[in-house]
Chains A and B, each alone.
Chain A
Amino acid sequence: MIGMLQRLGASTLETAATLGRAVLFLLRVLRGSGELIRRPGLLVHEMYSVGVLTLVIIVVSGLFVGMVLALQGYYTLVDFGAEQSLGVLVALSLTRELGPVVTALLFAGRAGSALTAEIGLMKATEQLAGMEMMAVDPEHRVIAPRLAAAILSLPLLTVIFNVLGVTGAWLVSVNLLGVDGGSFWSQMQSQVSFSDDILNGLIKSVMFGVVAGWIAVFNGYDCRPTSHGVSRATTRTVVVTSLIVLGLDFVLTALMFD
């Protein structure tokens, strides 16, 4: 009984300490991110591995999510003779919820895990310590460009995901199921608002970018420098990012859309 209490207390303290380290770490990285303006080449390099290489999975998933959404929506709406509303259904679901959330989840799996593993391995092979020896701050040189790349890439990926989702829905509903193309677009355009739906979705994805990038680089930086530690940190990145993105999405939705 005492032992259980002790373990509970120890894990609570450990969680609090990790959170504190994460916040202090973020502040230090943000303070050092001014250097990125002088060296944009670092950012371009990270944008490539974080953003461009994630593009394929985003494109394919976006297309299929849109197609499936259209197919399922059609089966329900056709009973009410309201299949022209398919465009609204798909566009609102994508821009408000599915776009930012699914992109963030895929991003955590594809790019977040890679970031954690890369930084963790740099730590395990003492490259980070080596940089400090050469008076190069690894938080500025290694972490800041990766975090910035994640924050910039996720909104771009989300917007691309949304467009491909709508395209996929259009392909299925207009070309396959015979929904009228004009009604598909006109109902969508009359009911989707740029400022309320698309911009709010974009704000969401920026927040998710901060969360996903922060968790990924922190877990890599904070991991135990062993092969086991790196693997655990990589898993933790994907799990924690997914949970926090889903939770944060609920809060943001409650705040944004009434």
Chain B
Amino acid sequence: MDNSRTMEIAVGAFVAAGLAALFVLAMQVSNITAFQRTEGYTVDAYFQNVGGLRERAPVSLSGVQIGRVSAIRLDPDRFEARVELTIRSEYDNLPSDTAARVRTSGLLGEQYVSLQPGGMPDSLGPGDEITLTQSALVLEEIVGQFLYEQSSGDDQ
């Protein structure tokens, strides 16, 4: 009797572990979750084109990661991408004229937001907007521009 009770508990724990594992796969591996939130304050930045930037991509300054992209959505009035950056609370002294640009790590790597500090004495606070932004480089546009300049150069 005691033996079969242990067995029942073991099987129950096994099935529970399997279901828990499925839950972990669903939440952590496949879908976007509320886990792993970066603590800090958020600032907004508007970009004309965010390229392949994704939510939870790193935000870095001088190559050091200081936060994450917490949300990307289209602003319906400005027709620009509104990127919400969550910056860790220990970096609360960024100048208010800090510039943001979307960059790519390596040639084919993931895209991230790079910040460049300005020189203003007052600092960015929660909910502020970064006004100086530079959009992602889209390879097709650069190639297209290059080809266009090449051909116009030939005509002269």
B108 is an interface residue with CB less than 8 A from chain A = yes
A157 is an interface residue with CB less than 8 A from chain B = yes
B-contact bits for A29-48, CB 8 A (1 contact / 0 none): 00000000000010011011
Q: Could you tell me if B108 and A84 are in contact, using CB atoms closer than 8 angstroms?
A: no
Give the chain A neighbours of B17 by CB distance below 8 A: 55, 156, 160
Minimum-distance CB pairs A-B, first 9: A81-B106, A156-B18, A186-B56, A194-B30, A163-B21, A159-B21, A81-B109, A84-B110, A47-B11
Q: Could you tell me if A48 and B30 are in contact, using CB atoms closer than 8 angstroms?
A: no
Q: Could you tell me if A159 and B4 are in contact, using CB atoms closer than 8 angstroms?
A: no
The count of chain B contact residues (Cβ–Cβ below 8 Å) is 37
Q: Across the A-B interface, how many residue pairs have beta carbons closer than 8 Å?
A: 113
The count of chain A contact residues (Cβ–Cβ below 8 Å) is 41
Q: Could you tell me if A187 and B110 are in contact, using CB atoms closer than 8 angstroms?
A: yes
B65 — nearest CB in chain A belongs to which residue? Answer: A180
Give the chain B neighbours of A45 by CB distance below 8 A: 4, 7
**Chain A 41-60 interface residues, beta-carbon cutoff 8 Å to B:** 41, 44-45, 47-48, 51-52, 55
Determine how close the nearest CB of chain A comes to the CB of B46; give it in whole angstroms.
21
Q: Could you tell me if A185 and B14 are in contact, using CB atoms closer than 8 angstroms?
A: no
Which B residues lie at the A interface, using CB under 8 A?
4, 7-8, 10-11, 13-15, 17-19, 21-22, 24-26, 28-33, 36, 38, 54-58, 65, 68, 105-110
Q: Could you tell me if A163 and B14 are in contact, using CB atoms closer than 8 angstroms?
A: no
Give the chain A neighbours of B109 by CB distance below 8 A: 80-84
A197 is an interface residue with CB less than 8 A from chain B = yes
Bound Cα distance A163, B36 (Å): 17
A105 is an interface residue with CB less than 8 A from chain B = no
B35 — nearest CB in chain A belongs to which residue? Answer: A185
A198 is an interface residue with CB less than 8 A from chain B = yes
Give the chain A neighbours of B19 by CB distance below 8 A: 156
A84-B105, A91-B29, A162-B25 given as contacts; is B11 within 8 A of A51 (CB)? yes
Q: Could you tell me if A180 and B25 are in contact, using CB atoms closer than 8 angstroms?
A: no
Q: Could you tell me if A185 and B36 are in contact, using CB atoms closer than 8 angstroms?
A: yes
